[in-house]
Chain A
């Protein structure tokens, strides 16, 4: 084991994580959640066409590999005259992906709010939209924190796929160093360790967040 190489490459990989992986995951997750809320509402719509649209979206996203989605956007779209840089391409692909998975979480959370809450909201005079915003979504948000945290942790790991379109993130850093030193085993294990550290910290934060929410629900 080349400890010197391990030590000298550790910070570059961690920095790749802090400057590449985490911002990519955060931005994609934020955009993905907004999209997911929209898709969840489509799925819950009484209009059959809108409901079908939502279902179709979720089905396509969940039924195709994330890597293929990423390649369609980065390598496929240019042939239609749409060329997007690596980083924004990755954001688009991951946001669309989160949009599909989180939509199902949010939909289930909205459905888990008892019908009586909608009715109570209506009888204090609220419209459907206001009842959703003021009464149902705050309750659904609490229910969806644990599953959405899992979605986020998966996303952090999935962003390593962006290395394939040359986005500078943690795994890309490891690859660059590995191809210069030929110590693939060491660097890829080191990359795994860095992801594991990140995910452990995130799981810890998730547990704390869930405990805090429990006190209010």
Chain B
């Protein structure tokens, strides 16, 4: 289990004068689930997007096994960006499903159009994956005909269909009505149990506690604290972590 999948060192990112990431290190082993937590604006989304090439850090190095070793102190080529992107798949906060395509088309689009998987084969796999999240009967529905929880499950299936090494989630449940959160977290928990490697930005502490192997607390663009969920949640070392967890659990204080 010590098979390293992702190594990021000293990741920095500035938007203009605003330094959002100030040297973040991240190691992810195959089969591991890493949760990124932290206050709003701490850089969680920016870090996650950097892993997928949606954001280009201003400094640092990043290597995803099987992909290029990137050094952000020099310009990243389009080819390297694509190679990096091929290793992972992203599940967005606002699902970002393609509204003009059916559920099945959404899931097959990447495999068929980009990966050149034969249509019949891609369709079979898409239906298997949809079946697994309980949405096989929605194959011909359009995204707007689905509930938020169903949309997000399709978003997850669209990511899985790319057979990525790494699944990235950016607060996949925070745009959902409370009663729909459970169905999405259940799917994610099952994926973790099946051995998918995942980096999850989340405010769902009970999920992080139950599923994550490691929790990183990001604050002001640096990792202030990292460790096993039991340690971070029960015995945080840093005062900032303690405050953050307290606020999250007692929003009225």
Contact = CB atoms under 8 A, between A and B. Distances in A.
Contact of B99 (A122, A124, A139): A139
Contacts of A216: 100, 142
Nearest to A134: B113
A116 interface: yes
Given A134-B109, A139-B99, A126 B54 contact: no
Contacts, number: 57
Contacts of B92: 116, 119-120
A142 to B, nearest CB: 7
Contacts of A127: 82
Most chain B CB within a 10 A radius of its CB, from A117, A120, A134: A120
Interface residues of A, number: 20
B99 A217 contact: yes
A126 B85 CA distance: 10
A193 B114 CA distance: 53
Contacts of A122: 53-54, 85
B92 to A, nearest CB: 6
A29 B142 CA distance: 32
B75 to A, nearest CB: 15
Given A116-B92, A119-B92, A123-B85, A130 B100 contact: no
Interface residues of B, number: 25
Contacts of A139: 99-100
B96 interface: yes
A125 B53 CA distance: 11
B28 interface: no
Interface string A120-141: 1111111100100011001100
25 contacts: A114-B96, A116-B94, A116-B96, A117-B98, A119-B92, A120-B92, A122-B53, A122-B85, A123-B88, A123-B90, A123-B159, A124-B162, A125-B82, A125-B85, A126-B110, A127-B82, A130-B114, A134-B109, A138-B100, A139-B99, A139-B100, A142-B100, A216-B100, A216-B142, A217-B99
Interface of B: 52-54, 82, 85-86, 88-90, 92, 94, 96-100, 109-110, 113-115, 142, 158-159, 162
Given A120-B90, A122-B54, 13 more contacts: A114-B96, A116-B94, A116-B96, A119-B54, A119-B96, A120-B97, A123-B52, A123-B85, A126-B113, A127-B82, A139-B99, A216-B142, A217-B100
Interface of A: 114, 116-117, 119-127, 130, 134-135, 138-139, 142, 216-217
